[in-house]
Amino acid sequence: MPKALIGEFGAITRLGVIAVLVDGAVECVAELDAHGDLLGRLEGCQPDAVLVDGDDGCTGSLVAAVRDRRPEVTVIECSNEQLTMRVLPAGPDRHPYETTLSAAELVGAVRAAATR
């Protein structure tokens, strides 16, 4: 079963993301609230993908830190404002791509991460 670590989102958004993933047969191995430590939780679990809030102004440095510590993990930046998601697949030879933020695309990206 694919596994995802859910970063800091607003409470309602986080609950919606979790519901979408659970409905798509994705295990949420950890989730963070507003005071969570994503990098600390990353060390304590084995996700295939990490989902972060693409509308947060600090996302770039967080994504870089995740990719530095765990290059085998796919990072997915979700933007509610733009209704898009930017997927940074695991591995040095993978190229990021952007697509529409939808339940099917999100579940598909996490499932693709699990097959790498």
d(CA 26, CA 60): 25
DSSP-assigned letter for residue 6: E
**Packing angle, helices 11-23 and 103-114, rounded to 10:** 60
Query: Three-state DSSP class for 2?
Result: coil
* CA–CA dist 26, 2 (Å, integer): 5
Instruction: Give the model's confidence band at 56: pLDDT under 50 very low, under 70 low, under 90 confident, else very high.
Output: confident
Nearest C-alpha neighbor of 61 from the set 33, 38, 90: 38
The pTM is what? 0.91
pLDDT at 35 over 70: no
Inform me whether the pLDDT recorded for 20 exceeds 90.
yes
Q: Which fold has domain 3-114?
A: Rossmann fold (3.40.50)
Q: Is the pLDDT of residue 4 over 90?
A: yes
Residue 112 CA, distance from chain mean position: 12
Domain residue spans in the chain? 3-114
User: Of 17-31, 58-72, 102-116, where does mean pLDDT reach its minimum?
Assistant: 58-72
